Amino acid sequence: MADRKAPAKIVAVEEDPEHVVVTSTGEVRRAPMIYLDEESVGRIKAGYVCAKCFEAQDEAFPERCYLCKFPMRDKQPEYVAKNYQGIVRVGSATSIEDEMAFMDEWAEIEARKQARMPHKPSIWVPREI
Ligand SMILES: [Zn+2]
């Protein structure tokens, strides 16, 4: 189990070819696709990590994120439902270390012949900046 105070673990960030964001200055940019590990997504869904800035919180669903002031209590479940794209297999964007970790994990899971889901990265696409 990771440190509860640790921010979400970002596995990779890429530009999303299908979505753009418009900044407050009117600039149009590609939306970032942020890949998080599955445990981090679980912590976001449970309200212990801010869905906007990925900082760990002292309690589940505080009224506002202490760092970016995102209204977690009111808005996070909706924000998560809108932005969470599900679990994906990350290919070339992962580091060698991550790849090795996946390989080890999968080998272990195979060996145990468990029906459990392997620990895969999840994709996160913020639509508002
Ligand atoms: Zn925040």
Neighbours of ion ligand 1 (CB under 5 A): 50, 52-53, 65, 67-68, 70
Summarised one tens digit per residue, pLDDT across range 58-74 is 999 999 999 999 999 99
Domain residue limits, the chain: 10-83
CA distance 43 to 59: 11
3-class DSSP state of 13 = strand
Q: What are phi and psi of 68, to 5 degrees?
A: -105, 0
Helices 38-45, 72-83: crossing angle, 10 deg rounding: 140
Interval between CA 29 and ligand 1 midpoint (Å):
21
DSSP bridge partners of 124: 34, 84
Interval between CA 71 and ligand 1 midpoint (Å):
9
> How much is the pLDDT for 108?
73
> How much is the pLDDT for 88?
64
pTM of the model: 0.61
Q: Which residues of the chain have pLDDT under 50?
A: 92
> How much is the pLDDT for 28?
82
- 119, 37 contact by CB (below 8 A): yes
